[in-house]
Structure 1
Amino acid sequence: MTGRARPIPPPNRASRLTTLPSTTSQVVIVTGNGYSTTYATLETFAKAGGHWVAVSAPLPARIGSKGFSDNHVEGVPTTPTGVYSLGRTMYGIGANPGVRYPYHQVVTNDWWNENPESSLYNTFQHSATNPGGYSEALWKEIPAYTHFAVITYNMPPNVATPEPYAGSGIFLHEFSTASGNATAGCVSLSHANLVSVLRWLDPARSPRIVICPAQNLGRY
């Protein structure tokens, strides 16, 4: 006697994506209503038995104070659209919350270099000197950078070399206030939701994050 075949899950946002690498079996989808919104929804999906299934309920998120952009530039608080991987290291002012990625606990003089004139543009840097430009003193961004993952916008593997002035420092991080404010271009979640997502992400599953207005999800 053979068991019944498992039913195929109904189509969902992840199953409709067509540009994910074949090795990707986790995806985070961030969408909002139009380009100008600062409010978004973050959803997580995992591939099981060859089919995409929802992992979490839709989570409330915030994005840049000027919404989404297909052509993000340095210094403009928009959130870049596209499909990106996550950086090889997760970071945070707080101790490792139990993530599967290598984790660096931020200390004084840890910067994200956001100076387009620097050869280290859009990279983590430990330096006693401010790298200049829009560079962020990571250890001072409380509570936003309690924990965060790097979204590889304008970074390898999406580009071979960061393009000057194309924008930098796009993270998945914690709300900057209890209720959540619009960001300078990052995607933010409540502390509890962020920690849950960061713990779930597994580098062995080649996760990707898709960011765009909901009506444009078909591009990806």
Structure 2
Amino acid sequence: MRIDGVRRVAVAVAAFGTLLTALAACGSPGGGKSDPAPSGQAGQPRPASEDLTRIPDVGDKLQRRIPADSDQVVAVYGKGKDSAASTVVLYARQGKAWHRIRSWSGHNGKRGWTTAHRSGDRRSPVGVFTLTDAGGVLKDPGARLPYTRDPAFAAPHWWAKSHWHDFDYVIAIDYNRVKGTPPNNPERPEGEEKGGSIWLHMDHGSGTSGCVSMSKSDMEYLLRTLDPDRNPVVVMGDRADLKA
């Protein structure tokens, strides 16, 4: 019995260490207040007349990085290079035309954006990344992406109370991670220095440590809509870098 107890303690300690590694990049509180999020666009469907040949306000460099077989794009338009406020827009492709489905207010890294993300810089990485895995503390709301429910996603309760539900729902952004694994898998193929655990997750009303955050209802909508058969990606950055 004593040996079994020791083993249980060892497993718990290992799991706790894994959680801290995964959360270090994504949601830890701290830093100053962010700019207010854009308003007036949440959940609005696209105008019926809108018919797009490309993702708006995204330059050729990033436009070319959208895979030819991707039919769903989550575009995150940062307000500014050093701003934590952003607008998130979902686009879907039918034939050769992109359609604007919905848009929401959101937040990104507390210090804004970077094209050379590093661990602890509190900026969100600019780029195009696949979306392959989801999870969270709460039960699966009907996600199409593979969903891992795990209490280990829960934010530590020594964080500010406003952050406790950040990871109730999570969609992993495939930046320096192993695809096909739970979002809280701590492996970082390109090394610890490049950071990782960059997620779409629930909003706490201010900037993040590098993730993109949205309301609970917005996350539920994305989880139920993003379809692995349509190879969804996220295109993200401040407006200047997106257009470059």
Query: What range is the shorter-chain TM-score in?
Result: 0.7 to 0.9
Instruction: Quote how far apart the aligned CAs of 1:10 are.
Output: 4.5
Q: 1:22 matched to which residue of 2?
A: 68
Whether the 8 Å contact between 1:156 and 1:162 is mirrored in structure 2 is no
CA contact (8 A) 1:14 1:45 kept: no
Does 1:77 find its partner at 2:122? yes
2:150 aligned with 1:98, yes or no? no
Counterpart position of 1:151: 173
Alignment partners' CA distance in 2, 1:24 and 1:186:
22
| TM-score w.r.t. length of structure 2 | 0.67
Residue in structure 1 matched with residue 206 of structure 2 by the alignment: 181
Shift of 1:14: 5.0
Are the aligned partners of 1:59 and 1:193 in contact in 2 as well (CA < 8 Å)? yes
| 3-state DSSP of counterpart to 1:47 | strand
Greater strand share, 1 or 2? 1
Return 5+ residue gaps in structure 1 as ranges.
1-6, 111-137
1:53-202 maps to which residues of 2 (within 5 A)? 53-56=99-102, 58-87=103-132, 89-107=133-151, 110=152, 138-140=153-155, 142-156=164-178, 161-176=189-204, 180-202=205-227
Write out per-residue CA displacement over residues 163-218 of structure 1, whole angstroms, 9 at most, x where no aligned residue.
Answer: 23101110000012xxx111111000011111111211001111110111112223
Kindly report the root-mean-square deviation, in angstroms, between the aligned alpha carbons of the 2 structures.
2.1
Change (3 A) 1:186 1:15: closer
Q: C-alpha offsets along residues 35-86 of structure 1, whole Å, 9 cap, x if unaligned?
A: 1010000001000122111111x21000111101111111121111110011
Aligned residues: 177
Paired-residue identity, %: 27
1:143: how far off? Answer: 0.8
Which AA in structure 1 matches 2:51? P
CA apart distance, 1:18 = 2.8
d(CA) in 2 for partners of 1:61, 1:163:
28
Matched residue SS, 1:215? helix
Q: Identify which of 219, 230, 237 aligns with 1:212.
A: 237
Provide the C-alpha distance between the structure 1 equivalents of 2:76 and 2:50, rounded to a whole number of angstroms: 24
Paired with 1:54 and 1:69, the residues of 2 have a C-alpha distance of 26
AA aligned opposite 2:223: L
Cα distance between partner residues in 2 of 1:170 and 1:8 = 31
Q: TM-score, normalised by structure 1?
A: 0.74
Secondary structure at the counterpart of residue 198 of structure 1: helix
Alpha-carbon distance between aligned partners in 2 of 1:99 and 1:195, rounded to the nearest angstrom: 8
Given that residues 63 and 188 in structure 1 are in contact (C-alpha distance below 8 angstroms), is that contact kept between their aligned partners in structure 2? yes
Change in CA separation of 1:140 and 1:19 when aligned onto 2, cut-off 3 Å: closer
Give the Cα separation in 2 of the matches to 1:189 and 1:38: 12
Q: Distance in 2 between matches of 1:207 and 1:10?
A: 17
